[in-house]
Amino acid sequence: MNGAPDTSFTFTVNGESRTARCAPLARLLDVLREDLRLTGSKEGCGEGECGACTVLVDGVAVNSCLVPVCQVDGAAVATVEGPGLEAVREAFLAEGGAQCGICTPGMIVMTKAWMDECERAGRAPTAEGARKALAGNLCRCTGYGKIIASAVAAARGESR
């Protein structure tokens, strides 16, 4: 979809160095899913509204549908498949935080970003905090109660 000549971009994904040859304006989401075959990140809207495509770039949560690959050259990208997210994934399973699952990868990555932020700021993770942090992640199935519960359980290390 991008007509610009292909260029090589090298960055780490979940700790491993990866190189993709693609158009500079290709969306990070497409590069992850199609070039690197990491299909965990989902496309809900493609317009920054739903958060299903959320990944971390250098530790910061972003919508990968809005990030051109040229802007992550040399960066560290983390997706739902990555290490360090086991506890959050477990919490979503244990607390029933997923139904159809389309929003779930974004919810999990955003929860991780929120947990890291709580830790950095020395703030106790609360349901209200989780709700605010996950405000950019839409779910059409669950009604959010169990998602917030999953996030809080993950942050408090309570998942069974």
Ligand X SMILES: Cc1cc2nc3c(=O)[nH]c(=O)nc-3n(C[C@H](O)[C@H](O)[C@H](O)COP(=O)(O)OP(=O)(O)OC[C@H]3O[C@@H](n4cnc5c(N)ncnc54)[C@H](O)[C@@H]3O)c2cc1C
In the complex, the residues that contact ligand FES under the rule CB under 6 A are 43-46, 48-53, 63, 65, 98-104, 139-142
Query: Least separation, in Å, of the C-beta of 60 and another protein?
Result: 5
Q: Enumerate residues 6+ apart whose C-beta is below 8 A from 143.
A: none
Does residue 132 belong to the site contacting ligand X (CB under 6 A)?
no
Q: Record the tokens describing residue 7, joined without a space.
A: 């260029």
Q: Record the tokens describing residue 100, joined without a space.
A: 């159809």
List Cα–Cα distances, 108 to 1, 74, 92, 112, 160, in angstroms: 29, 24, 8, 6, 17
| Nearer residue to ligand FES within complex by CB, 15 or 30 | 30
Nearest to 35 by CA among 58, 8, 15: 8
Q: Which of another protein, ligand FES, ligand X, none does residue 101 bind to, with CB < 5 to 8 Å depending on kind?
A: ligand FES
Contacts with another protein by CB under 8 A lie at: 1-5, 23-25, 27, 46-49, 51, 54, 60-63, 65-68, 70-71, 73, 110, 113, 132-133, 135-137
